[in-house]
Amino acid sequence: MLFSDENVAAYINENFEPAWQSVRPVPTVTIDFGNGKIVKRTLHGNVATYVCNDDGTVLDVLPGIYQPRTYLDRLGQLQLLYRYVQQETALIADPAGALHEYHASAAAALSKNEPYKIAEVEFDRPSIVRIEKSVKIVLNPADRIQARLQAAKGIRTEPTSIAAPKSSAELPHWRALATDTEINETQRRLLIHQHLLETGKTTPDELKKWLYKEVLHADLDDPYLGLGSILFDAYPFAEEDQG
C-alpha cells in the first residue's frame, strides 16, 4: 500500500537508495469453510524502515506501518539526519557523537511526551533555511518550527474518519492506521532511540532480532512468533498440535 503511493514512491526514488529484505516468511491463516469458500489472511505481519549510511550503519528506524503523509515527513527528517551525520563526519570525523546526540535528544523529548523535529538552522541565524552548506541540524521541539516545516512541505495531519476501509484507496484514512502511526511515533520510537543510545553503531542485521521482539512483538526466534501463549495456553489439545 505504502510503496504504491505515487508521492511516497517518487520521494524515495529521488532521495534514497532503497532495498527490501525479508526477515522470515509471513504467517498466514487459512479458513476453509468446506463449501469451496476459502479465506486466507496474514496473521501477524510487521515491517520496519531503516535509514542507513553507505557503510550500513543504522541511523534511525521507523517501526511498523505508517500513514503515507507522516511516513514522508519522517523520511524527510531522517534525510536531514543523514546529511547532519555526513557533515559532522566531514568536519570533525565524529559521526558516532552526532548520532549519540540525536538519539539522546529524541529519547529525552519522547520521554516527556514532547514532539521533536530535526531542523536545519543556519549558523548564527535562528531562522530555518534550506541551503546546502554552513548549516547545523538540530533537534527542535518547538511547535512553531514544526508547523512551519510541515506547512513548507505541504504535510498536514491525515484525515482519519474511516473506521472500516472498503478499498485500498481508503487505507490512508483508516482510523486504526492513524492510531498505529501514533504509537509508532511515540512508544516504539522511544524504545528504539534508547536502544541505539546504548548500542551505538549497529547494522540492520544486528538490530532486527531485538527490534522485532521488543518493539514489534514478533519474536523471530520463536516458531510461533510470540503468539504461542495465545494459541495454546487455553487449548486442551495444544500438545497434539505442537507434536
What residues make contact with another protein under the rule CB under 8 A?
2-6, 8-10, 12-13, 15-28, 40-42, 44-56, 59, 75, 78-79, 82, 86, 204, 208, 218
Residue 36 host element (H or E): none
**Closest separation between CB of residue 50 and another protein, Å?**
4
Residue placing its CB nearer to another protein in the complex, 81 or 107 = 81
**Closest separation between CB of residue 239 and another protein, Å?**
26
| Alpha-carbon span 7 to 180, nearest angstrom | 21
Annotate 172-226 with DSSP letters as a single string.
GGBHHHHHHHHHIIIIIHHHHHHHHHHH-S--HHHHHHHIIIIIS---TTSTTTT
Residue placing its CB nearer to another protein in the complex, 30 or 113 = 30
Residue placing its CB nearer to another protein in the complex, 112 or 133 = 133
| Whether the Cβ atoms of residue 27 and residue 43 lie closer than 8 Å to each other | yes
**Closest separation between CB of residue 220 and another protein, Å?**
9
**Closest separation between CB of residue 231 and another protein, Å?**
17
**Closest separation between CB of residue 67 and another protein, Å?**
16
Residue placing its CB nearer to another protein in the complex, 10 or 231 = 10
**Closest separation between CB of residue 90 and another protein, Å?**
12
Which amino acid does the sequence have at 92?
I
| Alpha-carbon span 211 to 61, nearest angstrom | 9
Residue placing its CB nearer to another protein in the complex, 82 or 174 = 82
Give the Å distances, CA to CA, from 60 to 11, 48, 78, 103. Answer: 18, 10, 7, 9
Residue placing its CB nearer to another protein in the complex, 48 or 107 = 48
| Alpha-carbon span 231 to 82, nearest angstrom | 42
> Residue 178: is it exposed, middle or buried by C-beta count within 10 angstroms (0-12/13-18/19+)?
buried
